Amino acid sequence: MRVVISRGLLEQIVALAADSADEICGLLLGQEGRIEAIASAANVASDPARHFELDPAVLIAAHRAARSGGPAVLGHYHSHPSGVAAPSATDAACAAPDGSLWMILGGGEVTLWRAGPDTAVNVHFTKVQLDRR
Ligand SMILES: [Zn+2]
């Protein structure tokens, strides 16, 4: 599968990650197959240099907006300031196999993944082609 994102929006996310020594995070909003906006969120993890946890208020607000006709919540993005652009063991442990998109920034790269079911308890990340337009 592939997902479209504008170059401008992608550059915005890359700039947020480049500016931060901590992992940055936020939501990917839009419609199926197309990321149209982001909602940056505070990283409220206790160790934000190595983990991320989206500010739940941002999540709640985005889901509420989606229910009242706003853009769908497709997934989220986060960065690995000193790692690679691939799901970490922690990411795999924390992910729910709910089909949401995971955008990961690290080592100057951006990758996109879909967290799908593997077994009932394990998540399987499938790489998604990011179509930059
Ligand atoms: Zn991660």
**Which DSSP string corresponds to 53-74?**
-B-HHHHHHHHHHHHTTS-EEE
Tokens 């949401």 appear where?
Answer: 100
Instruction: Say how many Å lie between the CA of residue 25 and the centre of ligand 1.
Output: 10
95 C-alpha to ligand 1 centroid (Å): 10
d(CA 12, CA 38): 9
* 104-133 per-residue burial string, b: 16 or more CB within 10 A, e: under 16: bbbeeebbbbbbeeeeeeebebeebebeee
Asked if residue 21 has pLDDT above 80, the reply is: yes
- Least confident span in 44-58, 74-88, 115-129: 115-129
- Position 100 pLDDT exceeds 70: yes
The pLDDT assigned to 117 comes to 79
- Kindly state the percentage of the chain with pLDDT values over 90: 87
CA of 1 to the centre of ligand 1 (A): 21
How far apart (Å, rounded) are the C-alpha atoms in residues 90 and 41?
19
Q: Tell me how far the alpha carbon of residue 69 lies from the centroid of ligand 1, in angstroms.
A: 30
Structure tokens at 8: 């401008």
Q: What is the mean pLDDT of residues 42-63?
A: 97
Q: Taking all residues of the chain, what is their mean pLDDT, rounded to a whole number?
A: 94
Checking DSSP bridges between strand 109-117 and strand 101-106, what pairing results, if any? antiparallel
- Separation of 51 CA from ligand 1 center, angstroms? 7
pTM of the model: 0.94
Average pLDDT over residues 24-46: 97
Question: From the CA of 36, how far away is ligand 1's center (Å)?
Answer: 22
Residues whose Cβ atom is located within 5 A of ion ligand 1: 88, 91
N residues, the chain? 133
Domain spans of the chain, in order of start? 2-132
The predicted pLDDT at position 77 comes to 98
| CATH topology (fold) of 2-132 | Cytidine Deaminase; domain 2 (3.40.140)
**What is the number of helices (H) and of strands (E) in the chain?**
3, 7
SS3 90: helix
66 CA from centroid of ligand 1 (Å): 25
pLDDT digits (tens, 9 = 90+) for 53-67: 999 999 999 999 999
